[in-house]
């Protein structure tokens, strides 16, 4: 399989009043063609900022990509000029967001918003763009497409708006779709529809999807490959079945155990103690050490590197470090 997106050592920092937040800290990941890669993590893990960095949408001047490379089909996006990047955005890489209700412009009609990327990237005429826009509305499973094209966002439900967002995203046949928590704001029954649709489009067009979510259920349903992030770092990655069956990092293990599962009742849930560290107070260490049941001395002082442990499964944890005398 070809690599579509190859992120190497990406670091994105934010300057805040209290100090520098290393939101994304030396993150590498790869998305191959036709593959769904999920980034899982809790709030503050840096998963969304990673996606924003790929799109070049990190809010300057506070946020800044400070290092690494983002190769999209062999070309480093970080080296592109503003205009060149713009021709990639919405064209070869498209993105959908968490809040469909606020992600569409309230004063423009649905049709206009769908036509924009077609006219921008495909140089379509207004008429052709409108025709294609109406087709697209049909393709994402909305009936009465003409009528919907002429309506405003507030007239549609959240689920419909997310379909429209998907229609906008796939309008230029992107090679990569980045979906940032696309179903978090939606009800479960609508979530199921949207996930089905994303999978179908992937199958039909062969595009790759980088799916960002906090929901392990969604990951299990969608992903081919999973990247687990914690406090701006990748702590574990691997193919979905292997990772769910044999999680190696204590954080991944805890996360999987702490989620209640339907029809698998437990008396008490496992829970990871404590909370995510303050991003301003991080010192070189395993950032998970103060919540970890296996914390060793070395974990408090030295950062573990991401090492391959099994076929395509990598983990950043001192427990698996062969050189580590404590194991």
Residue holding tokens 């050490």?
A: 289
Residue 205 phi/psi, 5-degree rounding, is -100, -15
Q: According to CB under 8 A, which one of 110, 134, 272, 316 is a site residue for other proteins?
A: 272
Residue among 71 and 319 whose Cβ is closer to other proteins: 319
Residue among 9 and 301 whose Cβ is closer to other proteins: 301
Residues between 180 and 209 that touch other proteins (CB under 8 A): 187-193, 195-196
Q: Minimum distance between the CB of residue 204 and other proteins, rounded to whole angstroms?
A: 18
276 binds other proteins (CB under 8 A): yes
Residue 26 DSSP SS3? strand
Residues between 121 and 180 that touch other proteins (CB under 8 A): 121, 152, 154, 157, 159-160, 165, 168
Q: Minimum distance between the CB of residue 172 and other proteins, rounded to whole angstroms?
A: 8
Total of chain residues touching other proteins, rule CB under 8 A: 83
Instruction: Identify the sign of the CA torsion 59, 32, 241, 247.
Output: negative
322 binds other proteins (CB under 8 A): no
**C-alpha to C-alpha distances, 38 to 26, 175, 176, 229, 249, nearest whole angstrom:** 18, 16, 13, 10, 17
Tell how far CA 120 is from the center of its chain.
25
281 binds other proteins (CB under 8 A): yes
60 binds other proteins (CB under 8 A): no
Q: Minimum distance between the CB of residue 307 and other proteins, rounded to whole angstroms?
A: 17
Residues between 26 and 55 that touch other proteins (CB under 8 A): 42-43, 55
Q: Minimum distance between the CB of residue 150 and other proteins, rounded to whole angstroms?
A: 11
86 binds other proteins (CB under 8 A): yes
Residue among 14 and 244 whose Cβ is closer to other proteins: 244
Residue 248 DSSP SS3? coil
C-beta separation of 275 from 200 below 8 A: no
Burial-class residue 321 by CB neighbours within 10 Å (0-12, 13-18, 19+). Answer: middle
Helix, strand, coil % over all residues of the chain, rounded to 5: 40, 25, 35
Residues between 290 and 309 that touch other proteins (CB under 8 A): 290, 293
Residues between 206 and 265 that touch other proteins (CB under 8 A): 214-221, 223, 240-241, 244, 250, 253-263, 265
Residue of 281, 301, 305, 280 whose CA lies nearest to 289: 301
């Amino acid at each position: 399989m070809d690599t579509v997106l190859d992120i190497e050592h990406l670091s994105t920092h934010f300057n805040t009043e209290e100090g520098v937040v290393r939101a994304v800290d030396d993150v590498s990941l790869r998305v191959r063609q036709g593959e769904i890669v999920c980034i899982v993590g809790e709030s503050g893990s840096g998963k969304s900022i990673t996606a924003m960095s790929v799109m070049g949408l990190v809010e300057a001047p506070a946020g800044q990509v400070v290092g690494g490379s983002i190769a999209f089909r062999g070309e480093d996006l970080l080296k592109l000029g503003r205009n060149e990047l713009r021709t990639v955005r919405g064209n070869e890489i498209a993105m959908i967001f968490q809040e469909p209700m606020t992600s569409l412009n309230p004063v423009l009609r649905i049709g206009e918003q769908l036509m924009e990327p077609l006219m921008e990237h495909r140089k379509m005429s207004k008429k052709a763009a409108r025709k294609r826009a109406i087709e697209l509305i049909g393709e994402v499973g909305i009936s009465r497409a003409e009528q919907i094209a002429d309506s405003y966002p507030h007239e549609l439900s959240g689920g419909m708006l997310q379909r429209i967002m998907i229609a906008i995203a796939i309008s230029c046949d992107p090679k990569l779709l980045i979906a940032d928590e696309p179903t978090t704001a939606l009800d479960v029954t609508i979530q199921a529809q949207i996930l089905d649709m994303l999978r179908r489009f992937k199958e039909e067009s062969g595009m790759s999807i980088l799916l960002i979510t906090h929901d392990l259920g969604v990951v299990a349903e969608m992903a081919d490959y999973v990247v687990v992030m914690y406090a701006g770092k990748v702590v574990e990655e691997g193919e979905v079945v292997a990772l769910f069956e044999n999680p190696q990092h204590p954080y991944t293990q805890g996360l999987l155990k702490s989620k209640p599962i339907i029809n698998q009742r437990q008396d008490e849930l496992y829970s990871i103690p404590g909370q995510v560290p303050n991003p301003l107070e991080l010192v070189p260490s395993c950032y998970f050490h103060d919540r970890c049941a296996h914390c060793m001395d070395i974990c408090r002082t030295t950062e573990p590197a991401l090492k391959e442990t099994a076929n395509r499964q990598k983990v950043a944890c001192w427990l698996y470090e062969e050189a580590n005398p404590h194991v």
